[in-house]
Amino acid sequence: MAVNPNIKIVVADDSGTMRIMFKQILNKAGYENLVMAVNGADGLEKVKAEKPDLVISDWNMPQMDGLEFLKALRKMDEFKTLPFIMATAQSDKAQQISIMEAGGSGHVPKPFDEAQISKAITMAFAGESLDKGPVQKQRQVVGGRVELNVAHIQITDHLALGALKHRIEQGDVEPVHFDLTTNLKAGWNPIQEGLENGEIDCAFVLAPIAMDLFAYDSPIRLVLFAHKNGSTFIRSRHYDPRFDSLQSFYRYKVVDIPHKMSVHHMLAHQFLKELGLKPGVPGKKAINVRFEVVPPIKMPGIMKENEDVAGFMVAEPVATKAIVAEIGNLEFYSASRWDNHPCCIVAMQEDFIQKFPEAAQEFVSLLVETGEYIENDKIRAARIAVSFLDPEGKLGLNPQVLQNVFSQPKSIRWDGLYPVAEDLDKIQRYMHDVMEIGRIIDLDRFIEKRFADEAYK
C-alpha cells in the first residue's frame, strides 16, 4: 500500500541534532509536511492543534517522554488509532515490547535510514506489525555445500570475514561444506532484525545486541569472538586545556555512540562516570552528559558541525579518519581501558548449527585460521580491507590509512578469538547492574563452544 507523501507528520525529539536528521531522512523518503516538537508535552499540543496523520517520536525526552506521549494520545478518543511510530535508541527487546503494549503502531531503532522509516510508515498505515516473527528459510545445498549467508557492516572489526572471502576467491582455501555469501548491511539494526527473524544465517554483530536477542528467546548462539579491541573515543577539537577540565568540557554535552547495546556505550559510560559525571539518556534520572545513537559513518560530520557534541566512540576506520581530518583528537583507545576486550561476536542461527554442524565447524575453523592470516601480514590485510569494506570507494579508504590503524598501540586483534564467558559476563553485569539496561542471560547456554574447542585443539 502506497502512503500519500503529503501526509502531515508530527515529529518529537528533544535533540536539535536529531530533529535535523529526522527532517533530512524523512525528506529523502519523500515526506516534507513536517511539524517539529521538542518533547512529548510539546508534541501533544502540536497533535491537538495540527491534527496530523502520523506521529513519529523519540522515547527519551524530558517533561514527557515518548511512551508517556503515546499513552496520553491513546486515552483520547480522537487519537486512539492515530498511527504512532517510536523512533528511538531504546532498541532492546524490552523497550520494543513496551511500545507495542502501549498501542504503538511500530518502532524504528536509531540510527535508521530512509528505507527503514519508509517501511515503518507503510506498515503503520497498513495496520501491520514490523515484528512478524521468524521466517522458515529454505537453504540451498549444491554439491554437498550449503549456502551460508553472513552479515556484516563496514568496519575493520569484521575483516576476518572479508579476508576469508578473499582467500576463497583466490583459491587459497576451498570449503567442503559451505558456500560463503557475505551480506553488507547499512547498520546494526538490519543485522539485529535479520538475526531475529531468521533471514540471516550468521552475523558479525555487537555482543550485547546478540545477548539481548538471546534473552528474549531468539534462537541464536555465539560460536566465536569476531575480534578483540578496536574502538576509539574521539574528543572534539573544541576542547582547550587552558580553560577546560575534562569534567567541565563534557558536562552538559553530547557523546555519540553506535548503538545502545554496545561495548562502546559501556566503556564511554565508565569513562565519563569516573570523571564525576552522570552520563545517560534523557528521562527520569538526572544526567549531565547525554548519549545519542547515530550511524558511525556520520559521527565525524555531526561533531564537526555541532559544538554540543563533545565526543564519540566508534570502530575503525572512522576514528582514525576523524583525527587525520582534524575533526577531533584521541581521548582513549578502548584497549587502554580493557585490554583484549571482546566487542563483536559471530552469532549463528541454532537451526543452522543443528542441520549443518559440519559447515558450522568448517566456518569457525577457517575464521580462526584467517585471524592468524591477518595477523601475519598486516600490509596484505590492509589491501584486502579496502576492497571488502569500501567496494564502491564511498569511504575513501586506502591501504596506508588501514596500515596506520593496524599499527596503533593496543590495536584491534584477530587472533585468540576463543569465546570467554567471563568477558561477556563483565559486560552484561555492568550494563545491567550499573547502566540498568539489558537482562542477565545464561552464558553457558548462549555460547556454543564445541566449534571453537575443535578449532583451537
Task: Read off the amino acid at residue 342.
Answer: P
Q: What is the mean pLDDT of residues 424-428?
A: 98
Domains and CATH numbers, the chain: 9-126 (3.40.50.2300), 141-227+344-455 (3.40.190.10), 231-337 (3.40.190.10)
Question: Up-side HSE of residue 439: CA atoms within 13 Å toward CB?
Answer: 16
Render pLDDT for 240-284 as a digit per residue (tens, 0 to 9): 998 889 999 999 999 999 988 999 999 999 999 999 999 998 766
What confidence score (pLDDT) does residue 276 get?
97
* Phi and psi, residue 56, nearest 5°: -125, 125
Calculate the average pLDDT of the chain. 91
**Which band of pLDDT confidence, cut at 50, 70 and 90, is reported for residue 337?**
very high
Strand ranges (E), 134-277: 141-142, 145-152, 178-184, 202-206, 220-225, 231-236, 253-257
Render pLDDT for 181-199 as a digit per residue (tens, 0 to 9): 999 988 888 898 899 989 9
H-assigned helices in 325-398: 334-337, 350-355, 357-376, 378-389
Write the CB contacts of 31 (distance below 8 Å, at least 6 apart in sequence).
5, 7, 9, 121
Q: What is the mean pLDDT of residues 135-164?
A: 89
H-assigned helices in 201-277: 207-215, 246-250, 263-274
What confidence score (pLDDT) does residue 135 get?
57
pTM, to two decimals: 0.85
Q: What is the mean pLDDT of residues 64-77?
A: 92
What confidence score (pLDDT) does residue 396 get?
74
Are the C-beta atoms of residues 375 and 391 closer than 8 Å to each other? no
Query: Over 70: is that where the pLDDT of 129 sits?
Result: no
In the chain, the percentage of residues whose pLDDT exceeds 90 is 66
CA distance 129 to 106: 6
Q: Of 222, 70, 232, whose CA–CA distance to 155 is shortest?
A: 232
Torsion sign over Cα 29, 31, 35, 41: negative
CA distance 77 to 73: 8
Q: Of 158, 222, 287, 182, whose CA–CA distance to 418 is shortest?
A: 222
48-51 contacts at long range (C-beta below 8 A, 24 or more positions apart): 50/8, 50/10, 51/8
